[in-house]
């Protein structure tokens, strides 16, 4: 199951043992195409005339070729039966490792041409790995749920005849010399991370035929998400295209659609679950409704409760004990330690048995929290100085005043904003340039549009158009820095990101090709995108990308400010409010006289690797001309 319904083949059907079909992705499909660039071994079968993205080698092969290029290696030694070792394929240009999301075939199953062997989660998408040859799946070398399997590492062994399955030597566990290198380390890492991705916590031998639904990666930057709402309940029928649940990502709240029919047997991540890692199981589906009760009985409680968070590695003196508490938040640990509370007397209200700070504070206020029994090591200290020991908790409690503040949970969007802004200030050399523009021509133009043409536009709509035209006139400013190449890349289109404040955080919907649109069309598009952003209904292509940003605080008493660049963009314009000032104005007779004019401060924050003083000055000069003569926006 996946959000996207695309199933575009991304690998040419050639000599390779298998091919891949596109399951789900947040990246454009063009990044998944792969040209034939692998070098074939001298022993490659030349009888197949179709091109191959991944060669198959017969006989003895070079170790490097096994690791980097091959999918299948056939062995015909005298002691072993003929068999083919399948390696982890490179299914995208940037892929160097992948995850085995699910094995569609079991050991001993018959394989026909076109059968899906397994589902592989790459750095771009989840792909179906299809067979191009007939045979039998003799041995699975990398179990379902394995993480970070390097490209080229053997994942399975196939044979041509069923009678060869039992004859596959037990020594073939890694398929090649790959196991002598980093395979063992990878397997250890995979075993340590199994709880994040697969059904290893569930005894699959006790379950009927089922499908485990994992938390999908619904945006390129998503590594965890929140279950905002389950649209389907346990036991309900699922049709193709039905929305199973709503997932809050680092960008927006998206609907998770089903690509297959079935029944929702068990919800593993309940509604409201926070920070569920990508690849972690969230539900189980079955095809036969009669299997629903069997799944519920076998699974029992949610396996996510057994997840081992990273913070538990740092051992503390607080242990869950025999209570229903599975995890303790850091803030709750501090309160328990300071007040010396007995954790067995506390009740957890958080998801998956998590003891929250509010639970501890509620217990303290109600008086139900009992002191923790002192250990034998603590007894001597209390006997020596009993009075100070009794006064310390009281003084701490008075100084702490836990009722004077409240912890507010952060949304995924705000977490990502905080991370990105910090990275931007740390890694991007900011250059700040400011200028004042006369606002009167813009206000007169806006009034004229309303009175003569009944077209209502905002000041920000005109600012967007003015910035877009200035970027067209100074194309050096419409660029970004490519860190990998170490060079400036100019953008072909002018796409303006407009900052919109929402309850969950700041969103930046994009006006595509803003220089080619009229001010009225820009105005309508801004209103539509702003409503979607506030409702959390923006599509990925409506907020991902952009070549330049605008942040306008003119509706507040803010004269000027410096905005932080939104990577990978190289510039953002901060727009302050308009102010009336007195300055000399040259009249028609050529004489300067004092006059009241409206001024607005514009501050450019630019990436100094892209903008130098000359480019920044040229951009602001072009922008000032646009504000002084509105007719330039019509050209």
Domains (range + CATH), the chain: 90-163 (2.40.50.100), 210-295 (2.40.50.100), 412-633 (3.30.559.10)
- In this structure, the number of other CB atoms found within 10 A of the CB of residue 379 comes to 10
Residue 74 has pLDDT above 80, yes or no: no
Give CA separation, 559 vs 500, 597, 603, 616, in Å: 19, 15, 10, 21
Alpha helices in 244-314 (DSSP H): 292-299
Three-state SS annotation for 403-435: HHCCCCCCCHHHHHHHHHHHHHHHHCCEEEEEE
With the C-alpha atoms ordered 120, 121, 124, 128, is the resulting torsion angle positive or negative? positive
Question: What is the C-alpha to C-alpha distance for residues 112 and 298, in angstroms, rounded to an integer?
Answer: 32
Nearest C-alpha neighbor of 603 from the set 615, 620, 628, 581: 620
Nearest C-alpha neighbor of 508 from the set 561, 563, 469, 551: 551
Task: Report, as residue numbers or ranges, the catalytic residues.
Answer: 608, 612
499 Cβ contact partners less than 8 Å away, ≥ 6 residues apart: 506, 507, 508, 549, 550, 551, 552
Q: What are the tens digits of pLDDT across the range 459-483?
A: 999 999 999 999 999 999 999 999 8
The token duo for 327 is: 């995890």
More confident residue, 145 or 5: 145
Q: What is the pLDDT of residue 368?
A: 65
Q: What are the tens digits of pLDDT across the range 14-72?
A: 333 344 444 444 333 333 333 333 333 333 333 333 333 333 333 333 333 333 333 45
Question: What is the C-alpha to C-alpha distance for residues 223 and 219, in angstroms, rounded to an integer?
Answer: 9
Nearest C-alpha neighbor of 552 from the set 524, 580, 530: 530
Residue 634 has pLDDT above 80, yes or no: yes
Contact 122, 91 (CB under 8 A): yes
More confident residue, 242 or 310: 242
Average pLDDT across the chain, whole number: 75
Q: What are the tens digits of pLDDT across the range 179-211?
A: 333 334 444 344 444 333 343 456 666 678 888
Residue 401 has pLDDT above 70, yes or no: no
Question: What is the C-alpha to C-alpha distance for residues 522 and 477, in angstroms, rounded to an integer?
Answer: 21
Residue 3 has pLDDT above 80, yes or no: no
- Calculate the dihedral angle through the C-alpha atoms of 294, 295, 300, 303, rounding to the nearest 10 degrees: 160
């Amino acid at each position: 199951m996946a959000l996207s319904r695309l199933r575009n083949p991304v690998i040419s059907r050639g000599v390779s043992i298998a091919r891949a079909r596109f399951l789900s992705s947040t990246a454009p499909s063009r990044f998944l195409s792969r040209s034939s660039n692998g070098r074939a071994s001298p022993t490659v079968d030349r009888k197949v005339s179709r091109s191959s993205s991944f060669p198959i080698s017969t006989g003895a092969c070079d170790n490097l070729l096994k690791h980097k290029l091959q999918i299948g290696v056939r062995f015909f030694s005298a002691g072993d039966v003929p068999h083919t070792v399948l390696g982890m394929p490179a299914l995208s240009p940037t892929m160097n490792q992948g995850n085995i999301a699910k094995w569609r075939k079991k050991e001993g199953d018959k394989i026909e041409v076109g059968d899906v062997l397994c589902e592989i989660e790459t750095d771009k998408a989840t792909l179906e790995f299809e067979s191009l040859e007939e045979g039998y799946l003799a041995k699975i070398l990398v179990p379902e749920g394995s993480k970070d399997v390097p490209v080229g590492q053997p994942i399975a062994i196939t044979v041509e005849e069923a009678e060869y399955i039992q004859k596959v030597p037990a020594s073939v566990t890694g398929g090649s010399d790959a196991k002598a290198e980093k395979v063992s380390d990878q397997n250890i890492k995979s075993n340590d991370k199994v709880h994040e991705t697969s059904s290893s916590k569930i005894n699959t031998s006790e379950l009927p035929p089922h499908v485990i639904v994992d938390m999908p990666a619904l945006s390129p930057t998503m590594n965890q998400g929140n279950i905002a709402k389950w649209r389907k309940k346990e036991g309900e029928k699922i049709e193709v295209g039905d929305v199973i649940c709503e997932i809050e990502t680092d960008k927006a709240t998206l609907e998770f659609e089903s690509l297959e029919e079935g029944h929702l047997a068990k919800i593993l991540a309940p509604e409201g679950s926070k920070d569920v890692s990508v690849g972690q199981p969230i539900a189980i589906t079955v095809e036969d409704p009669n299997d629903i009760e069997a799944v519920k009985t076998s699974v029992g409680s949610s396996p996510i409760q057994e997840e081992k968070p990273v913070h538990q590695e740092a051992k503390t003196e607080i242990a869950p004990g025999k209570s229903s508490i599975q995890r303790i938040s850091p803030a709750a640990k501090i309160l328990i330690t300071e007040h010396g509370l007995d954790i067995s007397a506390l009740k957890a209200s958080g998801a998956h048995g998590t003891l929250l700070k509010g639970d501890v504070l509620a217990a303290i206020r109600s008086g139900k929290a009992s002191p923790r029994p002192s250990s034998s090591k603590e007894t001597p200290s209390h006997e020596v100085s009993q009075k100070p020991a009794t006064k310390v908790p009281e003084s701490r409690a008075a100084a702490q005043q836990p009722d004077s503040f409240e912890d507010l949970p952060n949304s995924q969007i705000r977490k990502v904003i905080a991370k990105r802004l910090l990275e931007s200030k740390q890694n991007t050399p900011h250059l700040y340039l400011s200028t004042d523009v006369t606002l009167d021509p813009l206000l007169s133009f806006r009034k004229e549009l309303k009175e003569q043409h009944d077209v209502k536009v905002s000041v920000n709509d005109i600012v967007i158009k003015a910035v877009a035209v200035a970027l067209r006139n100074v194309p050096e400013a419409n660029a970004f820095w490519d860190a990998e190449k170490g060079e400036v890349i100019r953008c072909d289109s002018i796409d303006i990101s407009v900052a919109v404040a929402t309850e969950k955080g700041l969103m930046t919907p994009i006006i595509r090709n803003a220089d080619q649109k009229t001010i009225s069309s820009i105005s309508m598009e801004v209103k539509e995108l702003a409503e979607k952003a506030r409702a959390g209904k923006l599509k990925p292509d409506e907020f991902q990308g952009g070549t330049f940003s605008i942040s306008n605080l003119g509706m507040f008493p803010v004269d000027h400010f410096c905005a932080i660049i939104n990577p990978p963009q190289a510039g953002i314009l901060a727009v302050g409010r308009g102010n009336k000032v007195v300055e000399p104005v040259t009249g028609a007779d050529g004489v300067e006289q004092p006059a009241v004019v409206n001024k607005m401060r514009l501050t450019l924050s630019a990436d100094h690797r892209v903008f130098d003083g000359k480019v920044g000055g040229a951009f602001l000069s072009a922008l000032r001309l646009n504000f002084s003569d509105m007719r330039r926006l019509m050209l």
